[in-house]
Amino acid sequence: MSEINQVGMEKIVSLCRRRGFIFPSSEIYGGLSSCWDYGPLGVEIKRNVKEAWWRAMVQNRDDVVGLDTSILMHPNVWKASGHIDGFSDPLVDCKNCKLRWRADELKITVCPTCGGELTEPRQFNLMFKTFMGPVEDAANIVYLRPETAQGIFVNFQNVVNTTRKKLPFGIAQTGKSFRNEITTGNFIFRSREFEQMELEFFVIPGTDIKWHEYWRNERMNWYLKLGIKPENLHFREHAKDELAHYAKGCYDIEFLFPMGWAELEGIANRCDFDLTQHSKFSGKSLEYQDSESKEHIIPYVIEPSAGVDRSVLAFLCNAYYEEPDKEEIRVVLRLHPSLAPFKVTVLPLSRKENLVKLAKDIHTGLRECWMTGYDDSQSVGRRYRRQDEIGTPYCVTIDFDSLEDNQVTIRERDSMKQVRIPIRELQKTIGAKLAGESFEVLPPGGRCL
């Protein structure tokens, strides 16, 4: 983590708190360390990120299907996957101040806080445990899943049998995962409860290198298409000693966060490790029979695994701008329209009854297509600023002339340009704009995002 991005994390945290994107969990009780609640705007951007991922990974492809598996799974899943034995970090304690550190992250051999002597490293398992049923004993221990991937592997045969998918094909899932991380922090970058978006793409062994490269490119392009600046993204190939013992190769897509370059997504070639292990531990065959050669094989797996919360943070950092405007500083989130919490906000110039009626009618029409805002308090200038700050690409202003000429003003977030158009063309015009077209060229119909 060397170079420092221009926007400080404190600016992002403050904006998120102030405008209702993200709050500390259980805040009225003093908060719960490394857990976060998404507020009214945060929930929209988070949903939009997941939907954009689902559209790219499932909806627009013939070779991927979705799943939604349970968070609690049979404990043997975690024996087979290696999480019970191997999913741990080395911990050291300071003998003097009792603070606890991750040994692999310490660059010095004495406590960074007080200089005290440290204990020998001990392995600390990162899975959260709980009990299933009313008896709290060892026989009833279950774990909160630390990744969504295993729900996919254990359903491999169910999916093959019910969908008749042929290799190569993938299974995608988004959902919560839990890790009792020792070092958390950097806002939503590393928390103990988070969401993942994972694809397990099953391929014929021997074609895995080609598919690994394919998914690296797909995933990098996904972030670029959603507006992440190329200079804020790069690949980092895992060194041999970083690789899980079963993985043939792994690349991280890293983003230049305010604290430096850090992992946004990992894209791994997991070979046949997972299906082989589950087959061994469950006693069920997870082989795939090739319909032409009739050969039985265990497919290899390419896994692009992304964090929802990390992606939200990256999109926010990437979109944050402060620019001088007249005597003030304009804060603007230049979010891609498909990620913006509101696509359009309706602003009546005054609260006069006839103007409000027209504005509400217009709002009702627009919200059928898009997530919209409505704001009738304070000056229009201030209202534009508020919408800029939360990334709303377009505002529609209704003034007294609108009552006479049936026209309204559309104001663009990025250019601050304004155009006046007939109300009957509003939906079509905004649809065209959201789809990336200019005011001048309108397609025959609007498009919903």
- The binding site for ligand GAP (CB under 6 A) comprises 147, 149, 179, 181, 190-191, 194, 196, 198, 263-266, 303, 305-307, 309-310
In whole angstroms, how close is the CB of 311 to ligand GAP at the nearest point? Answer: 7
Q: Which stretches of 191-338 are assigned E, i.e. beta strand?
A: 193-203, 233-237, 249-257, 260-271, 288-289, 296-297, 300-307, 320-325, 328-333
When CB distances to ligand GAP are compared, the closest residue is 307
Instruction: Give whichever of 213 and 263 is closer to ligand GAP, judged by the CB atom.
Output: 263
Phi/psi of residue 162, nearest 5 degrees: -90, -25
- Is the CB of residue 63 less than 8 Å from the CB of residue 172? no
- Is the CB of residue 40 less than 8 Å from the CB of residue 307? no
In whole angstroms, how close is the CB of 172 to ligand GAP at the nearest point? Answer: 12
Instruction: Give whichever of 244 and 416 is closer to ligand GAP, judged by the CB atom.
Output: 244
In whole angstroms, how close is the CB of 189 to ligand GAP at the nearest point? Answer: 6
In order of 219, 255, 257, the CA distances from 223 in angstroms are: 7, 10, 14
In whole angstroms, how close is the CB of 28 to ligand GAP at the nearest point? Answer: 24
Nearest to 310 by CA among 271, 360, 346, 256: 256
In whole angstroms, how close is the CB of 77 to ligand GAP at the nearest point? Answer: 13
Phi/psi of residue 122, nearest 5 degrees: -120, 150
Instruction: Give whichever of 87 and 394 is closer to ligand GAP, judged by the CB atom.
Output: 87
For 104, other C-beta atoms within 10 Å of its C-beta total: 10
Buried b (16+ CB within 10 A) or exposed e, 340-353: bbbbbbbbbbeeee
Instruction: Give whichever of 305 and 409 is closer to ligand GAP, judged by the CB atom.
Output: 305
- Rounded distance between C-alpha atoms, residue 91 and residue 104, angstroms: 8
Instruction: Give whichever of 307 and 337 is closer to ligand GAP, judged by the CB atom.
Output: 307
Nearest to 232 by CA among 338, 317, 308: 317
- Rounded distance between C-alpha atoms, residue 343 and residue 328, angstroms: 25
Which residues fall within 8 angstroms of residue 167, CB to CB, at 6 or more apart?
Answer: 202, 203, 204, 288, 290, 299
Buried b (16+ CB within 10 A) or exposed e, 28-51: eeeeeebebebeebbebbbebbbe
In whole angstroms, how close is the CB of 212 to ligand GAP at the nearest point? Answer: 14
Instruction: Give whichever of 12 and 346 is closer to ligand GAP, judged by the CB atom.
Output: 12
Instruction: Give whichever of 307 and 393 is closer to ligand GAP, judged by the CB atom.
Output: 307
Instruction: Give whichever of 149 and 410 is closer to ligand GAP, judged by the CB atom.
Output: 149
Bond prior to 348 in cis (omega within 30° of 0): no
Alpha carbon 153 to chain centroid distance? Answer: 22
In whole angstroms, how close is the CB of 155 to ligand GAP at the nearest point? Answer: 15
In whole angstroms, how close is the CB of 149 to ligand GAP at the nearest point? Answer: 4
In whole angstroms, how close is the CB of 13 to ligand GAP at the nearest point? Answer: 16
Instruction: Give whichever of 190 and 212 is closer to ligand GAP, judged by the CB atom.
Output: 190
- Rounded distance between C-alpha atoms, residue 121 and residue 258, angstroms: 30
